[in-house]
């Protein structure tokens, strides 16, 4: 399937409108760093910022599995860095007590949600349904790099991310604001040209 330039622009504006609608709500932008990518890996750092970009949570977590050398090479976190970290149980309790009116956004939500679930299982805790919106998919639609062979937008790397949970939250917050501002500008142009 090939998209026309008109369809790409419509999709871009749709993504920008969704971002605009999201940033006007109570929300958490969440990110994690992990021991690795496997089905046995766990969360070792979690960050959350709110709709204004204020830090809600920035904590290291002591895992029950080793940190892979590959993961450590990316985020720079070693076992010594997390050996005195919080237990995942305390983070789990914090997440479960979230006000249900707060919308959760995550860059690559499928990955972070899976790792939160894996950490819950590893600690014999119930799964948490964050019902997160994926900022990466929204941003990929906004960027508009269409992949005809997969009939979807190509996933985009997080611009401005530094591979710390809180740094990646702030970067996600920034791209949401950029998309929302684009929508506001486009609405202004439409009003001006009408």
* Span 142-156, pLDDT tens digits: 999 999 999 999 999
Rounded Cα distance between 134 and 132, Å, is: 6
The average pLDDT across 65-85 equals 95
State the pLDDT at residue 4.
Answer: 94
State the pLDDT at residue 192.
Answer: 44
Q: What is the pLDDT of residues 159-187, one digit of tens each?
A: 999 999 999 999 999 999 999 999 999 98
Rounded Cα distance between 87 and 92, Å, is: 9
State the pLDDT at residue 1.
Answer: 84
Q: Extract the tokens encoding 49.
A: 């910022």
Q: Nearest-CA neighbor of 135 among 165, 102, 169?
A: 169
Rounded Cα distance between 98 and 150, Å, is: 36
| Of residues 50 and 188, more confidently modeled | 50
What is the sign of the dihedral through the CA atoms of 86, 92, 98 and 104?
positive
Q: Distances from the Cα of 192 to the Cαs of 9, 186, 187, 188, 189, in angstroms?
A: 19, 10, 9, 6, 5
The average pLDDT across 22-27 equals 95
pLDDT of 193 > 90? The answer is no
- CA angle (110, 174, 54) in 5-degree steps: 90
């Amino acid at each position: 399937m090939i998209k026309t330039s008109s369809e790409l622009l419509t999709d871009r504006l749709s993504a920008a409108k969704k971002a605009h609608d999201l940033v006007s709500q109570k929300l958490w932008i969440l990110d994690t760093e992990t021991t690795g990518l496997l089905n046995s890996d766990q969360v070792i750092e979690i960050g959350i910022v709110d709709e204004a970009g204020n830090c809600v949570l920035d904590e290291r977590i002591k895992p029950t599995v080793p940190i892979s050398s590959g993961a450590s090479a990316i985020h720079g976190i070693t076992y010594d860095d997390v050996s005195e970290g919080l237990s995942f149980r305390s983070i789990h309790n914090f997440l479960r007590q979230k006000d249900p009116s707060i919308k959760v956004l995550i860059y690559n939500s499928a990955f972070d949600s899976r790792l939160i679930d894996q950490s819950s299982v590893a600690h014999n805790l119930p799964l948490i349904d964050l019902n997160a919106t994926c900022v990466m998919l929204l941003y990929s639609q906004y960027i508009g790099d269409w992949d005809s062979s997969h009939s979807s937008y190509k996933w985009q790397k997080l611009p401005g991310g530094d591979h710390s949970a809180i740094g990646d939250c702030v970067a996600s917050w920034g791209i949401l604001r950029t998309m929302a501002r684009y929508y506001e500008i486009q609405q202004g142009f439409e009003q001006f040209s009408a």
